[in-house]
Structure 1
Amino acid sequence: MTTTTSEQQAVPSYVQGSWWTPQAVPTSAPEVRDASTGEVLGRVSTEGLELAEVVRYGRQTGQRNLADLTFHQRALKLKELAQFLNARREELYEISAKTGATKIDNLVDIDGGIGVLFTFGSKGRRELPNSNVVIDGPLEVLSRDGSFIGEHIYTRIPGVAVQINAFNFPVWGMLEKFAPAFLAGVPSIVKPATPTGYLTEAMVRLMIDSGILPEGSLQLISGSARTLLDELDYRDLVAFTGSASTAKLLKDHPQVVYGGVRFTAETDSLNAAILGPDAGPDTPEFEAFVRSVVTEMTVKAGQKCTSIRRTIVPNALKQDVIAAISARLNEKVVLGDPRAEGVTMGALASLEQLADVRSAVQAMLDAGGELAYGTLDAPSVTRRDGSIGEAAEGAFMSPVLLSWADASSQQVHSLEAFGPVSSVIGYDSLDEAIALAALGSGSLVASVCSNDPLVVQQLVTGIAAHHGRVLVLNREDARSSTGHGAPVPHLVHGGPGRAGGGEELGGIRSVYHHMQRTALQGSPNMLTAVTGVWHPGADRHFDDTHPFRKSLAELRIGDAFGSELREVSLQDVTDFANSTGDTFYAHTNQEAAAANPFFPGIVAHGYLLLSWAAGLFVEPAPGPVLANYGLENLRFITPLAAGDSFRVTLTAKQITPREDQDYGEVCWDAILHNQHDEIVATYDVLTLVAKTQDPVADASNASLQG
């Protein structure tokens, strides 16, 4: 593989563990330019790049190295990587300015992308096991004696995740796909869009230079990859962000249609913001709505798949909304080179993009839209040196607000001007507002701005099925909200219909997108062996050492303790009722309790049984068990009448060491039986346990024993 640097300044790719540029860049190779000045920054070309070898390297080297790590270990690497990149944001800001991005835009793209790494680094350790297998859902008992059971598990797909990204978010768009793939243990092949791919390359270079990522877990293709899908099969995944037309071409590829390649898309979206009829000009909701529309028109110069394209307002408030948006645009927007002081909105990503947006706006004007604010003429801008005037080589465009007399005009609901453009349309009833929102044929996001719960309920339930996300904006969350156009890594990003029908993000959901769900059947012992989680019916190990005396280094799945029976007297129940104040009749009134179809008479409190159960299984001396931090999955099955007895069986169910601490979590299966061996209660006990025996605790224990 050649790694010589082209004299024509080709944007490098990173493949098979090294940086690569073509030996000779064709003169036809696309140029990339500074969005504000038109300066040529380089060319992109993959002439001579063997894509089959790139895929093979990911499947083999990337898969092998990621397999050596658990979910928690990969999550910690994401956290470490985020910290590394966070300290180097200024380097990226400087490059990002060439894409037309302002300081605010960088907060969304660069800081937002790094924030995704932090989020998945945290959620991976909190919500996934410290292993490579995830159990999905409850156990299913498939035989009367419990010797044959079933459940669902997730394991990572054995191929690569090809991530094809759009030009508008060269950092966030890459990291929001990379983070869940990496956490799942699947290698990424990143294909950025040409106009801003040089910023993606700068980010990837930092990620590789950090030395944090396992070899093969990340590759970058800078330039055309038209035959990449030819090399993929059912083992692989493609995550695409871009135009609906390109998505259709990819969906129709034989390897997607017949070869089983997993494909998800996020495409065009005519997102809507609906102002409730209660939100008049003097309300906080009106102010928040106007602020939101202007923000979405101007951040990233409106080049966001989540921008508000359709501003849907009551007809009675239409002129007020137009006037307020226009006034705020006049007040807030300083158009120009992002490197100039005071600029709040930069250029579009390229001159080609500028031409596309102007053409779309002109088509909308021809279809009946009226120019309520802005112009299609070349605007006056602040140049890099601070002077003001036209910038002929820059891709600058004035914000444009259109007003439509016919709210149902086809073009306002079908044409997307991917720039600082929004259209205002009116409605007379909530049903009409819902119908107008649905005319977008599926969108990524909609906002509902109202402080009337009934209005919000009707609008949200009416539009939710047409959108991937709905933001409810009112006076209570106007300042704390992340905003209409800001997908957060915790929640799903995607939408039905025109928006692509795909899903990204959504916390751990997006990790599962890179995994295969498999129905697993077998005996309790075999399912325990596969999952690393003890299953009811699997072997228990009772020995002379109480499991609470064992550190994580000594404890094994299935280690168990069984107590003797303890009787619960009527006096015990009465004393517990009086001391706690829980005098519910089932514990205090024999006649009323006996009349209840669930109770044989006075019964013990469930929480009395839990408290006494702890007394039956807890080993009191200092040792590896550091703390009890909760109960899960508690169910009371059979009431325990006063005078009955119960015992407890405790079994080590799941052991989760914390990679960056000297302790971990142990989940214990607890089951209470009465004297007739009927199940009284089941639950999980959660404890924090030291990884090794603590000499100080051991010495203290010895003195207590002595």
Structure 2
Amino acid sequence: MSNVISVVQAFDRALIREIPGDDDRALEAKLAAAERALRERNSWLEPHRRGAILQRTASLLEAKQIHFAELIAREGGKPLTDATVEVIRAIDGLRNAAEELRHFGGREIPMGLTGASEGRWAFTTKEPIGVVAAISAFNHPLNLIVHQIAPAIAVGCPVIVKPAVPTPLSCLELVELFREAGLDERWCQAFVTDDNALAERLATDPRVAFLSFIGSARVGWYLRSKLAPGTRCALEHGGAAPVIVDASAKLDRIIEPIVKGGYYHAGQVCVSTQRIFVHTDVLADFVERLAARVKSLRVGDPRLPETEVGPLIHPREADRVASWIHEAVEGGARLIGGGRPSETTLVPSILIEPAADAKVSRLEVFGPVTCVYGFRELDEAIDVANSLPFAFQASVFSTNIGPALRAARRLDASAVMVNDHTAFRTDWMPFAGRRQSGYGIGGIPWSMEAMSQEKMLVLRYDGLGLET
């Protein structure tokens, strides 16, 4: 341990705790311990023991639900009501991983289909892929960690998890709960560093068989290009999620979900609603209703139960988002809302018709901003929605089945929500970015598949002494 990392509250930058950072010697020790756990097959845990540890950890987390929610609100800036939901999801995610083990197995491979395959019986079994390195993001500092390490523990992979520098505390305390639940340290270790070179060494070490990365596309795709031969990976990045509002949509019912999708956690969500395409027949009414609801959002200290929108994670992120808003307004967009009550807090804003080349139209904002554009023809809106080099989740609001299905079929997205916001997710559904937005499929059952590998056994019983 060579340096100290100061963890501060996202809202007011007040110090929460100082923690020791890991150095290169600590990284080597953790990798060696993980590799040793994998190599010593007699120490592998049976599925029932892995499942029991996951269930016990879920119960321990449930007993500390209030504590973890407050910790998420402090270090990550997520409003307390949403932080509470995150803890509930994390508890459920641990149990999902344990329960998935009941269905997690191989399959029979047909034999006897040709003369050459007679007298044989073949089937597959599941084995852990190897050491997992998990590099996580700040915006869901508990639940993202669960999504990365619970599948690894479930399938029997040793896992080393690096939390985001601003939000390590939820991760460290969760790892301690696994210890309390009976998991040997070698099977789940936290690696805390603010040294990007060390993080890269973790990801690219040849002893790592699988990299789980959640964060920026620039870093994720770079790390993928540097992985050791044979290392598999899953990358989860972000996008600029589109919503299409058809002329038939009931405006009194859609404003609330759209606001939730756009301003939840101050827009710091990889599938946050960002680009809203509204049919011109209802555009003026939609903007009026959206503006009224956005202006009523309660902004402030995330620890207060009434807060709906909290801070951004760092002052430089508030600077960046504010500069993008300014650029859009300078380029002709109309601004509704806005303002900066503190160095990390932005008042939610709406940009009406920003230019196509504005950053807010081309890039992921990751802040409390939505952009509204009018359209006349549905295919025109779909073409613009599909025009960016990344794609994740999308939405269409309509009471007519024709436009809803046409948009659902033609939007370039891994998931299309009909009459719901783009940020909807359950933890057992597949979750994946397309193109530059990601690689591989997340979601606990899918991650378990990715972190395992099949081995086929072929038994020849014809004439070789095996009786049937």
Whether TM exceeds 0.5 here: the answer is: yes
In structure 2, list runs of 5 or more residues that go unmatched. Answer: none
Tell me by how many angstroms 1:367 deviates.
4.1
Query: Which among 103, 106, 111 is matched to residue 88 of structure 2?
Result: 111
Question: Matched residues in 1 for 2:121 and 2:324: separation?
Answer: 59
Is structure 2 residue 176 aligned with structure 1 residue 200? no
Q: TM-score, normalised by structure 1?
A: 0.61
Query: Which among 420, 428, 432 is matched to residue 490 of structure 1?
Result: 428
Is structure 2 residue 288 aligned with structure 1 residue 320? no
Q: Give 1:262-273 correspondences, 5 Å limit.
A: 262-273=232-243
Matched AA of 2:118: G
Matched AA of 2:404: V
Q: Give 1:33-112 correspondences, 5 Å limit.
A: 33-41=8-16, 42=18, 45-47=21-23, 49-61=25-37, 64=40, 68-99=44-75, 100-112=77-89
Query: Which among 431, 439, 442 is matched to residue 504 of structure 1?
Result: 442
Is structure 2 residue 344 aligned with structure 1 residue 395? yes
For residue 168 of structure 2, give the secondary structure of its aligned residue in structure 1: helix
Contact 2:324–2:359, Cα closer than 8 Å, also in 1:
no
Q: Give 1:207-226 correspondences, 5 Å limit.
A: 207-208=178-179, 210-223=180-193, 224=195, 225-226=198-199
Tell me by how many angstroms 1:140 deviates.
4.2
Closer, same or farther in 2 for the Cα pair 1:150/1:364, shift >3 Å?
farther
Query: Which among 279, 302, 310 is matched to residue 275 of structure 2?
Result: 310
Closer, same or farther in 2 for the Cα pair 1:294/1:450, shift >3 Å?
same
Matched AA of 2:324: A
Larger Rg: 1
Tell me by how many angstroms 1:443 deviates.
2.1
Contact 1:63–1:186, Cα closer than 8 Å, also in 2:
no
Question: Matched residues in 2 for 1:271 and 1:403: separation?
Answer: 16
Closer, same or farther in 2 for the Cα pair 1:447/1:212, shift >3 Å?
farther
Matched AA of 1:155: E
Is structure 2 residue 93 aligned with structure 1 residue 147? no
Query: What residue number does 1:625 align with?
Result: none
Query: What residue number does 2:258 align with?
Result: 293
Q: Give 1:272-671 correspondences, 5 Å limit.
A: 272-279=242-249, 283=250, 286-331=251-296, 333-340=297-304, 342-371=306-335, 373-375=336-338, 377-379=339-341, 391=342, 394-404=343-353, 408-409=356-357, 411-463=359-411, 466-473=412-419, 484-505=422-443, 507-518=444-455, 520-523=457-460, 539-540=467-468
Tell me by how many angstroms 1:186 deviates.
0.6
Closer, same or farther in 2 for the Cα pair 1:266/1:364, shift >3 Å?
farther
Percentage identity across paired residues of the two chains: 23
Query: RMSD across aligned C-alpha pairs, in angstroms?
Result: 2.7
Question: Matched residues in 2 for 1:509 and 1:53: separation?
Answer: 30
Aligned residues between the structures: 461
Query: What residue number does 1:156 align with?
Result: 128
Contact 2:80–2:302, Cα closer than 8 Å, also in 1:
yes
Query: Which among 211, 225, 238 is matched to residue 238 of structure 1?
Result: 211
Contact 1:187–1:216, Cα closer than 8 Å, also in 2:
yes
Question: Matched residues in 1 for 2:316 and 2:357: separation?
Answer: 27
Contact 1:101–1:346, Cα closer than 8 Å, also in 2:
yes
Matched AA of 1:176: H
Question: Matched residues in 2 for 1:139 and 1:430: separation?
Answer: 48
What per-residue deviation string (whole Å, max 9, x for no partner) do you get for residues 145-190 of structure 1?
7213555543221x21111011111101100111111111111111
Bigger RCO of structures 1 and 2 (CA < 8 A, at least 6 apart): 2
Tell me by how many angstroms 1:460 deviates.
1.0
Contact 1:181–1:514, Cα closer than 8 Å, also in 2:
yes
Tell me by how many angstroms 1:436 deviates.
1.8
Closer, same or farther in 2 for the Cα pair 1:152/1:205, shift >3 Å?
closer
Is structure 2 residue 57 aligned with structure 1 residue 120? no
Matched AA of 2:61: L
Tell me by how many angstroms 1:276 deviates.
2.2
Matched AA of 2:218: S
For residue 366 of structure 2, give the secondary structure of its aligned residue in structure 1: coil
Tell me by how many angstroms 1:458 deviates.
0.9
Question: Matched residues in 2 for 1:369 and 1:140: separation?
Answer: 66
